[in-house]
Amino acid sequence: METKTETIQSDINSALWSACDTFRSTMDSQGYKDYILAFLFFKYLSDKCKDKYQGFEKQYGDDVELIKRKMSREPFILQDDCTFEHVIENKNNPQLGQFLNKIFEKIEDDNKKKLEGVFGDLDFNSSSKLGDTKDRNNRLKNLIEDFDKPKLDFRPSVIGTEDIIGNAYMYLIEKFAEGAGKKGGEFFTPHEVSVLLAKLMSPDAGARIYDPACGSGSLLITVAEEVPHKAGTAIRNCSLYGQESNGGTWGLAKMNMFLHEMDAAQIEWGDTINSPKLIEGDHLMKFDAVVANPPFSLDKWGAEKASDDMYKRFTRGVPPKSKGDYAFILHMIDSAVEGSGRIGVIVPHGVLFRGGSEKTIREALIRENLLEAVIGLPSNLFFGTGIPAAILLFNKGKKHSDVLFIDASKEFESGKKQNKLRPPHIQKVVDAFNGFEEIEKYSHKATIEEIEGNNFNLNIPRYVDTFEAEEEVDLDAVKTEIKSLESNLTKVKSEINNYLQELGLN
């Protein structure tokens, strides 16, 4: 039986997805997702301020000036002419697109420290995206009315927990990523994969957590959710950091942090490899847990500048210019705290066995005893690609020299478009890693000497034997069965012939 919270969550998810009908007939999900997600964020800000204002009204009565002073100390400011109620009152404005643009710009200006740039280049007055004035006004009016529904009342006093809004935002992002095909994988890691990586990392209280290719921030948030709360509060006892190169996706990440009450997160915009933003003095900022699902085999990642890298990230070798996987891995390793930092990264399988400079880097990381585990995932988990991926876990505080290989490629729930990891599949991987043990046809603990004997090839079948011998065939039993079938067939043929003769048809 569903709980009240689950019912509210389901109702909000359904209502939000229905709101997308305003745009579905005119553009694909990549075109309209920014409008829907931005409006969700705006409605959340407005409802939260409304809830707070009503609370102050109960406490301070008609003292408007005192209430305004109290409101000014809130995490963000929303002027009276920037609320959702004000938008509803003006939904018939003949220049509705311009009207909305000014409101969203003012919200950013009034909250520069936290919200500047969060809406990116979102344009509610775009004729190329939303049509001519008449059609545009009609669509925007429908959008406003879609959010003006009882089920989309985001006041904390109504929904009970703000996690519901954060979950709804993640629900929409995943639905958009699913519909966007290959492009969807650029900004979202399937939630089940994020959960698996989060549980494998299991960050401690007080951890600094970093994602150098954070996309919409969903993986970073999921990892943070594994950290205990601060005593007596709903705040996770950790600090979050990220960087994203795509401006629009960076905006999604900033909003995602707010909606999950993690607005203290430092999310930077820029190219992590060529222009890392999280710097302390003349070196990279260091983190306790570093996680990422970087773009698979990124072309033109900046190999030509690697030899002059001021942070010395490529002393183990320079990855090929057409495959940036190890560029991200090396950056992540150098961003982890010396002596204790841990790294979890999702990679294509080629990273495990390709030769050239990638083999040189792979060998160096293994000889330094940084690699802790290689986990093979099922195929068709990720948006826009059916290829299987793997998780590499590195540990700068590793206490032994073995590497655990886990073949989880056969542990999934099959789906029409994508396969899914379910809680039992996730838990099996986590248990195997935590136990760091041999499990027949599932995991193998390899020594460095064994890996060296395989020429530093990490291809999982070299270490985990999943071969299932076919059951031996009893030839005598098969012969007996064939004779029995032939005898029965002869008998049936005879009966048919007799029947046809009786009918005069033979």
Identify the pLDDT of residue 305. Answer: 94
| Mean pLDDT value across residues 476-488 | 80
CA distance linking residue 265 with residue 250, whole number of Å: 12
Whole-number Å distance between alpha carbons of 450 and 335: 29
pLDDT band at 19 (very low <50, low <70, confident <90, very high): confident
Quick check: helix, strand or coil at residue 83? coil
| Mean pLDDT calculated for residue range 218-222 | 95
pLDDT band of residue 187 (cuts 50, 70, 90) is: low
Burial class (CB in 10 A: 0-12, 13-18, 19+), 232: exposed
Which pLDDT score, from 0 to 100, does residue 176 have? 86
Q: Residue 403: helix, strand or coil by DSSP?
A: strand
Cα–Cα nearest to 333, from 342, 324, 325: 342
E strand spans, 304-354: 342-348
- CA angle at 418 for the pair 413 and 424, rounded to the nearest 5°: 25
Strands 207-211, 238-244: pairing kind:
parallel
H-only helix segments in 116-268: 127-130, 133-147, 156-159, 163-180, 191-201, 218-224, 247-259
Model pTM score: 0.86
The pLDDT-based confidence of 25 (bands split at 50, 70, 90) is confident
Specify the DSSP class assigned to residue 123: -
Evaluate whether 223 touches 239 at the Cβ level (below 8 Å).
no
Phi-psi region of 355 (alpha: psi -120 to 50; beta: other; left: phi over 0): beta
Q: What are the residues facing 375 on neighbouring strands?
A: 391, 406
pLDDT average, residue stretch 384-398: 91
Does residue 185 surpass a pLDDT of 70?
no
pLDDT in tens, 88-122: 999 999 999 999 999 999 999 999 888 989 998 89
What would the pLDDT profile of 50-80 be if each residue is shown by its tens digit?
Answer: 998 888 888 888 888 888 888 878 888 899 9
Least confident of 136-145, 160-169, 320-329: 160-169
Which pLDDT score, from 0 to 100, does residue 470 have? 57
Q: What is the pLDDT of residue 250?
A: 94
- Whether the per-residue pLDDT at 138 is higher than 60: the answer is yes
Q: Which residues pair with 336 in a beta bridge?
A: 287
* Residue 388, pLDDT score: 87
Amino acid at 81: D
Please provide the average confidence, as pLDDT, over all residues in the chain: 90
